[in-house]
Each structure stands twice: as C-alpha cells, then as structure tokens.
C-alpha cells in the first residue's frame, strides 16, 4: 500500500468524509473504497446519511395509534389490533390441527403395529380336516337351490320363488341330508 492510500485509509478510520479524503489524497471514491475494503473496514460512501429509523414493532405502532389524537389513526390502530388477534387465533388453530393430525398419525401407526402383532400371535390357524374341506359350507349352486326350495316348501319353511335362500333354511336342509362318504 502506497503512502497516499495509507493516508486515505487512516483518514477514513478517523471519521473523515469521503470528499475531504478525495481532496487531500487525490484518490477517487472508488479507489478509497477499494483501499478501505482491503484494510478489512466496512466502507460506507455517504457517512453523513441519517441512520435508518428504527423498525417499530406492531405493538408499539398500535399503542401509538391508539393514543394518537387523530380519530383516523385510532380507528386504524383498532383495525390492526383486531387483525392481529385474528391472525393469532388462526395460527393457534392451525397449530392445534397440526398437532392433532400428528397424534392421529401416531395412533394409526400404533394401531397398525398392534393389529400386526395380534395377527402374528394368532398365527395361521389350524388347517381344515379332509371332512371339513369336503363339507358344503358355501352358497348352494343352482341345482341344490332348487332342491332346497322344494324341501323347504314340503317342510313348512317360507321361501321366495327366486333370489337367495335364507342361510337358516340352507343349514336346516343340509342338516337333514346324509353326509357324503
């Protein structure tokens, strides 16, 4: 770093304004900015600019509006307060729904795991015997249905001429038939 640049950096560190540094050293604003940045100092071109106003919180602004003499600003503060209350309520409701949905998901996962444990504990169950496999426990076919209807009418059971025969009538009919050997 040459002497001029060192003087410019020193002047900047001491709070001099950029135009004063430019006049004293003959360096441009761009050269001063490069030298200051190279010295690891944040460069601000307009050091006399007013600092940014502090950002007020919503509560501060609402309090200011509520206490203001202007009815318009008081009304705006009331509207803002109501809007914030609505937002807070919506946020709480959304958080409650999200939490409840998560609880439901967790409970469903626990229930699925418990059901699987029950199925595993029960095992596949006993195999049917040859006699059980041969027994007619299903729905009767067309021919058997016709025989069941005739038997039912002959034995005092009420059956419709078409459609399914009641299970009790089918079971009663089958109970009267000799077992197939």
Mean pLDDT of the chain: 86
**Per-residue pLDDT averaged across 76-96, rounded?**
93
pLDDT at residue 10 greater than cutoff 60 = yes
Q: CATH homologous superfamily of domain 136-176?
A: E3-binding domain (4.10.320.10)
With tokens 């050091």, the residue in question is 47
Q: Is 46 a residue whose pLDDT tops 50?
A: yes
pLDDT of residue 50: 54
19-28, 135-144, 168-177, range with the lowest pLDDT: 135-144
The confidence score (pLDDT) of residue 57 equals: 83
**Percent of the chain at pLDDT above 90?**
51
Look at residue 51 in the predicted model and tell me its pLDDT: 54
**pTM of the shown model:** 0.37
How confident is the model at residue 165, as a pLDDT? 92
Percentage, residues of the chain above pLDDT 70? 85
pLDDT 10s digits, 124-149:
876 655 545 544 567 888 899 999 99
């Amino acid at each position: 770093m040459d002497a001029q640049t060192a003087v410019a950096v020193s002047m900047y560190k001491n709070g001099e304004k950029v135009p004063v540094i430019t006049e004293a050293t003959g360096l441009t604003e761009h050269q001063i900015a490069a030298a200051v940045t190279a010295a690891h100092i944040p460069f601000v071109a307009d050091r006399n600019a007013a600092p940014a106003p502090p950002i007020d919180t919503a509560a501060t602004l609402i309090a200011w509006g509520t206490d203001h003499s202007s009815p318009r600003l008081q009304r705006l503060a009331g509207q803002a307060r109501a809007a914030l209350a609505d937002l807070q309520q919506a946020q709480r409701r959304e958080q409650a729904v999200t939490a409840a949905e998560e609880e439901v998901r967790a409970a469903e996962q626990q229930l699925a795991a418990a059901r699987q444990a029950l199925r595993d504990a029960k095992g596949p169950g006993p195999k049917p015997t040859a006699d059980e496999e041969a027994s007619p426990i299903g729905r009767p076919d067309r021919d058997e249905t016709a025989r069941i209807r005739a038997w039912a009418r002959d034995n005092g059971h009420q059956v419709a001429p078409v459609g399914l025969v009641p299970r009790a009538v089918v079971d009663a009919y089958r109970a009267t038939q000799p077992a197939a050997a």
